[in-house]
Amino acid sequence: MTRPKNPPPDHSEEPPGGSISMKDLAGHLGLSTATISLVINRSPGAKSIPHVTQERIWAAARKFKYRPNLVARSLRQKRSFTIGVMVPEISEGYSAMVLSGVEDHLLQEGYFYFVVSHRHHKDLIEEYPHLLRQRAAEGIIAVDTVYTGHCDIPAVSISGHRHVKGVTNIVLDHNLGAHLALEHLHRLGHRRIALIKGQDFSSDTETRWQAILSVARELGIVIEEKLTAQLDSDSPSPEVGHRVTRKLLEGDPQFTALFAFNDISAMGAIKALRETGRRVPEDVSVIGWDDIQGAAFHNPSLTTVRQPLRQMGVVAAETLLKRITAPAGDAYPKEIVLEPELVVRESTAQKKIER
């Protein structure tokens, strides 16, 4: 039986921390240090290495607790392999699902990242890009963040809706989303539809609202001011949607459907409707927007406009890394548009026929 060449020493003989060199690892596997380096550093050239060989390298690295010298790698390539990510806040919902996509792609490509939350404070939104740059971030991903300042490193904005030099916008087709939702309610016979508008600080609010107004005119749906409410807090809790729906119901308006800005506010709206004796969907149909993980498990399960949130995160990370490694001066995409889809569940139904 042939023994591996130059096997790594036993753990008892390893230096403090149990670390071994890349040369030791290469000798153990019978591969070149160049091959090991390509795989461990997740270099583009690693794609040419058979998958089974890559798996062997990673298995051996885990077994012998091999850790690449990231400082040496950064100094050698004059890069930090670090990305900065800006979000309004981190909780269940929009930001968390987008972040999962960003994280998956960055980890796959061997990048480290910082996440900072600004809670919609203008001073933090303006300051964070500079702080991230000072910490050697090679690029920035801004999630649902209205940022209009100049960025001197590659940047991608998810739902930014601002044309800023150096920034690629990843946006949703809000006109299609509004059409899918309102047409669904219209087909079910609903004409008096209550609407919950997003907060002023949300980057999607105005774009989505204008899309809703346009589609409503097209379908002949009258938007009534007394049937319109706006979220008024930066809390990520359903309580915000609950509060504005209670205000809508105080005047006892006779609406048969409610279209909420997001799933979180739709869940709060359903609770408010039930508290006032209205059944969902028998008396009032409710539709949300996002399709967060909890939407399918709510009672009733929520009909919603599904944003491909995780995909938006993946596309943002993928686009940013391509921009970072592209030659200086290369053209970059100014905007990438993704499409939503309607997910019909239990919270919408045919309008009840009055006798």
What is the per-residue pLDDT across 249-267, written as a single tens digit (0 to 9) for each? 997 778 999 999 999 999 9
User: Pairing relation of β-strands 82-87 and 139-143?
Assistant: parallel
pLDDT in tens, 26-62: 888 888 888 887 787 777 677 788 989 988 988 888 8
Q: What six digits make up the tokens of 224?
A: 């009534």
Looking at residue 14, what is its pLDDT? 41
Residues of the chain with pLDDT under 70: 1-19, 44, 68-78, 92, 149, 354-355
Determine the pLDDT at residue 354.
65
> Domains in the chain, ordered, with CATH?
11-68 (1.10.260), 78-172+309-338 (3.40.50.2300), 174-307 (3.40.50.2300)
CA 243 – CA 231 distance, rounded (Å): 9
The pLDDT of residue 165: 85
In 18-158, beta strands by DSSP E: 82-87, 112-117, 139-143, 155-158
DSSP letter at 46 equals G
